[in-house]
Structure 1
Amino acid sequence: MRPSQQMRDLGIVQYGAPVLRDPAHPFTLPDERETIDDVVGQLLHVMERIRRAHDFYGKGLGLAAPQIGIGRSAAVVQPPESAPIVLLNPRITDSSEDRDERYEGCLSFFDVRAQVPRPLWITVETMTAVGSTEKVVYERGEARLIAHEIDHLGGLLLMDRMRPGVRPVPVEEYRGTAEATGRPWSYE
Structure 2
Amino acid sequence: MRPSEQMRDLGIVQYGAPLLAERARPFTLPDERETADAVIARLLDAVEHIRRAHDFSGKGLGVAAPQIGIGRAAAVVQPPAAEPFVLLNPRITAALDELDEKFEGCLSLFDVRVPVLRPLRITVETATPEGSTVTTVFERGNARLVAHEIDHLEGVLIVDRMRPGGTPVSVEEYRKTTEATGRAWSYE
Normalised to the residue count of structure 1, the TM-score between the two structures is 0.98
- Determine the C-alpha separation between the residues in 2 that align with 1:23 and 1:155: 5
- Determine the C-alpha separation between the residues in 1 that align with 2:67 and 2:181: 27
Other-structure match for 2:58: 58
Q: Secondary structure at the match of 1:136?
A: strand
- Determine the C-alpha separation between the residues in 1 that align with 2:29 and 2:182: 40
Cα 1:5/1:181, change in 2 over 3 Å: closer
Cα 1:128/1:181, change in 2 over 3 Å: closer
Other-structure match for 1:9: 9
Other-structure match for 1:77: 77
Please list every run of 5 or more consecutive structure 1 residues that lacks an aligned counterpart in the other structure: none
- Determine the C-alpha separation between the residues in 2 that align with 1:85 and 1:123: 15
Other-structure match for 2:127: 127
Other-structure match for 1:112: 112
- Determine the C-alpha separation between the residues in 1 that align with 2:183 and 2:65: 27
Other-structure match for 1:28: 28
Q: Secondary structure at the match of 2:77?
A: strand
- The one-letter code matched in structure 2 to 1:120 is L
Alpha-carbon offset, residue 18 of structure 1: 0.6
Deviation by residue 1:88-113 (Cα, 9 ceiling, x = unmatched): 00000000100000000000010000
- Determine the C-alpha separation between the residues in 2 that align with 1:136 and 1:50: 26
Task: Provide the identity percentage.
Answer: 71
Alpha-carbon offset, residue 181 of structure 1: 6.2
- The one-letter code matched in structure 2 to 1:160 is D
Aligned residues: 188
Q: Secondary structure at the match of 1:37?
A: helix
Other-structure match for 2:149: 149
Cα 1:181/1:127, change in 2 over 3 Å: closer
Alpha-carbon offset, residue 182 of structure 1: 3.1
Deviation by residue 1:57-77 (Cα, 9 ceiling, x = unmatched): 410010000000000000000
Deviation by residue 1:33-82 (Cα, 9 ceiling, x = unmatched): 11011000000101101000001241001000000000000000000011
Cα 1:106/1:181, change in 2 over 3 Å: closer
Other-structure match for 1:178: 178
- Larger displacement relative to structure 2 (172-181 or 112-121): 172-181
Other-structure match for 1:39: 39
- Determine the C-alpha separation between the residues in 2 that align with 1:181 and 1:112: 11
Q: Secondary structure at the match of 1:67?
A: helix
Please list every run of 5 or more consecutive structure 2 residues that lacks an aligned counterpart in the other structure: none
Preserved contact between residue 126 and residue 135 of structure 2 (Cα < 8 Å): yes
Other-structure match for 2:166: 166
Alpha-carbon offset, residue 85 of structure 1: 1.5
- The one-letter code matched in structure 2 to 1:140 is R
- Determine the C-alpha separation between the residues in 1 that align with 2:143 and 2:78: 12
Q: Secondary structure at the match of 1:41?
A: helix
